[in-house]
Structure 1
Amino acid sequence: MAGSTDVEQGKMQVIGKDALADGVVAVRFADPDGGTVPAWEPGSHIDVIIDESTVRQYSLCGDPADDTCLTVAVLREENGRGGSRWIHDSLQVGDLVSIAGPRNNFSLEPAQSYLFVAGGIGITPLLPMVRAADAAGADWRLLYGGRTRASMAFADDLVARYPGRVELRPQDECGLLDLAAALDALGDGTGVYCCGPEPLLHAIENECRNRSGVTLHVERFAAKERPADAVDGAFEVELRQSGKTITVDSGETLLDAVLRSGVDSPFSCREGTCGTCEATVLEGIPDHRDSVLTEDEQAENDCMMICVSRSCTPKLTLDL
């Protein structure tokens, strides 16, 4: 199953908002009563609940040892769904915001060495990983690409703090990242961690598919493209705990069918990227369409993200 931490939810106060790079701001949240923030590990994210219908996930990029605040960095996306524009334009220091999490679907696993590959704002979940790998004395390096040098948040600090380990490759100066060369230089037992836009993730998945000796971990900020041959047929689902059997119609999601039946099930992104709606599969074979589970985890067919995934069999049985 996808890894996760116990999820907390409550109001937190914005105690800082600072420009980091072109189109990127850092936002720091703290307990309004002065208490400690929830513990977290590298790779974790939080849900920022803007309103009842608008929830956005942002990776934590601060220091897990700092229990006074949670820090995220947000790229302004003019053609996005509005969450980043709200954070850039409307969110102010002193505001109270509902936060859920932290939750971790992108854990840093033990490895002989590490290659971290970031594209743009994808640097955010990798920052605590770099810090942890360096503190542990691990062999690691970071390949960091972006549109322009001015758009690459944390770039100067990374180069100064970790001389010789960080390679910056602004696209307007260097072109696309040379993933093949970076992967060719790796030794056996290397963990490769990548976060960034979909073209980068697709490219590195293709590069790693037939390579032995490396283990690839990716995190997506947006849902994978829907397969061209995907079929949204109706199917039945037995909800074992609830004692109900429901039909998921061709025009609705499994999550919506579960909620329609009166069964309470947690959810957040509705895009298969956050892991909140993960459910245990007791019988049947899911049609996995999420961006959380790895290919190996999907092949185990013991869990699924019910907000986007469907069924390959006429019936599924879930532990709901």
Structure 2
Amino acid sequence: MQITFLGTSSGVPTRGRNVSSVALRLPQRAELWLFDCGEGTQHQLLRSELKSSQLSRIFITHMHGDHIFGLMGLLASCGLAGNVQRVDIYGPAGLNEYIQAASRYSHTHFSYPVKVHAIRPGVIYEDHEFTVSCGPLHHRIPAFGYRVAEKDRTGRFDVEKAKALQIPPGRIYGQLKRGETVTLSDGRVINGTDLCGPTEIGRKIAYCTDTVYCEGAVELAQDADVLIHEATFAHQDADMAFQRLHSTTTMAAQTALVAKAHRLIMTHFSPRYAPGNPLELKDLLQEARAIFPNTDMAYDFMTYDVPRRREV
């Protein structure tokens, strides 16, 4: 699981930062999932090492322009390139109407299936490897955060140990690899977990933007390996944050701390903290680290490989 930040500015793009979009690459299944799709996201994809042909799912947090204005352009380009098989899009009420209207007025016809799923709090997607859930955030319009949870996997199967126990290979190996208990033809009962290494704990990613501090974000971020959280404002601008229902650095850090997340990566920064201003982004990072030391500050094209945790 590799995270790539394609846009880390809030509201409007700057010379160095595009508006919101985060890509999650799943190399084991050659898939690319996108979280938000601000204007210019397709250009950011072209400038990255990511392959748009692998795009399969897009998750939209809310209907503000800096999170959706790149959606139609990206979908149309993928159709013209003819290299996308199907795209499932998840988002709040109104998203399907927006895409339908944009398609109608621009005379855009997708050459591949596009399915829009109107989300409600809870599990919105699940397969044999992942569960994706969403929950409400606190913003000026309905907004949702997302949690991607990889399912736990049985540890590596010790073939040599199985051979030493004279366990016949074949279907039984598959059962033991899955951690099942098997009764052999000679009456011996073998517990598959005894032949497997430590369980590989599924990785968890939370994505929370746009929002002021809220319990919804804390719940999504519980025990997350990585919490991606907006930090539009510095702590001294908390009044402005509350007025606009955005987070400060300290709110993002507090969310990570209360949720017992393992790492916080902040994004969605106001352009007001550009170099040369009284407060700069390095100051915002210090504010967050004072509360939650394991904090990083995202920048466009930053990548982060989510590490695995093994059962103790």
TM-score scaled to structure 2, two decimals?
0.33
Give 1 or 2: higher helix fraction.
Answer: 2
If you compute each CA radius of gyration, which structure gives the higher value, 1 or 2? 2
TM-score scaled to structure 1, two decimals?
0.32
